[in-house]
Amino acid sequence: MTEARIWDRLAGRYDTIVRLFDTSYGRVRERLAADIEAGGRVLEIAAGTGQFTLDLARVADSLVATDVSPAMVERLRQRVTDAGLDGVECRVMSAYAIEPADARFDAIFCANALHVMDEPRRALAEFHRVLRADGVLVAPTFLHGVDGFRRALSRSLSVVSPFVAHTRFDLAALKQTMVDAGFDVVHAEAMSGLFPLGYVVARPAAGSGQMVSRGPSEQTAHGPAKRP
């Protein structure tokens, strides 16, 4: 079954199930308002039913909220409509093929998803490609590999439920995966919970091949990444 089909089948129960794991979500909401500069163009990847979308909409100038699962996006769209938000575009989109191909974003937010993707490195390469040189990636990711107990629990969950962690990160491994993808990690902490949540903020590393977008027709390779 494709990733999209698995999550389509979960969409109706997702808001109930996520409550088992979301003890750190309040803290993420506080942090994201500080870590994502107000007024920018923001892309949300793997938005699910929109657990963070309304919070992102408050800081973003424009927000594109996406998920690979059409059923998740249907619920996401409903949440955005119910909140009466204009300026949030909800789209079905894979983290592995961000569209349009020439898009550039000031911030990317991807929560509770890198560990469930079968190719997180491919997703990070795409994030790096579409993020501005002075942009920011915020990626809170559950850490299923912090100790033997969590590894065993994660393996059991994979057998008895559709929640499969393809990568059982600890915080060091999550940070290294980002560094390998061309990012500098500027903040990382483990927020406590049944599975700790690795809250990582990263920026494209200087000289990592990022492009500075100056307008629709003019793009140049950057020097050292600007920091706000």
Ligand X SMILES: C[S@@+](CC[C@H](N)C(=O)[O-])C[C@H]1O[C@@H](n2cnc3c(N)ncnc32)[C@H](O)[C@@H]1O
Binding site for ligand X (CB under 6 A): 3, 7, 18, 45-48, 51, 67-69, 72, 94-96, 111-113, 116-117
By beta-carbon proximity to ligand X, the closer residue of 130 and 225 is: 130
Q: How far apart are the first and last CA of the chain?
A: 43
Shortest CB 50 distance to ligand X, Å: 8
Max CA distance (Å), the chain: 52
CB of 124 to ligand X, least distance (A): 12
> How many CA atoms within 13 Å lie on the side-chain side of 65?
31
Q: What's the min distance (Å) between Cβ of 24 and ligand X?
A: 10
Q: Which is nearer to ligand X, 120 or 222 (CB)?
A: 120
Nearer to ligand X, 94 or 213 (CB): 94
Query: How many angstroms separate the CA atoms of 8 and 71, rounded?
Result: 5
Position of minimal CB gap to ligand X: 48
Residue closer to ligand X, measured from CB, 46 or 136? 46
Q: How far is the CB of 95 from ligand X (least distance, A)?
A: 3
154: part of which helix (H) or strand (E)?
helix 148-160
CA distance 61 to 51: 19
What CA–CA distance (Å, rounded) separates 120 from 72? Answer: 20
Contact 125, 179 (CB under 8 A): no
Strand extents, DSSP E, the chain: 41-45, 62-67, 88-92, 105-110, 131-138, 141-142, 183-191, 197-204, 211-213, 219-221
Shortest reach from residue 68's CB to ligand X, in Å: 4
Q: How far is the CB of 206 from ligand X (least distance, A)?
A: 28
Q: Which two tokens stand for residue 130?
A: 């579409």
65: tokens are 């909220």
Residues across the chain: 228
Complex with ligand X: residue 112 or 154, whichever CB lies closer: 112
| Between 19 and 227, CB nearer to ligand X | 19
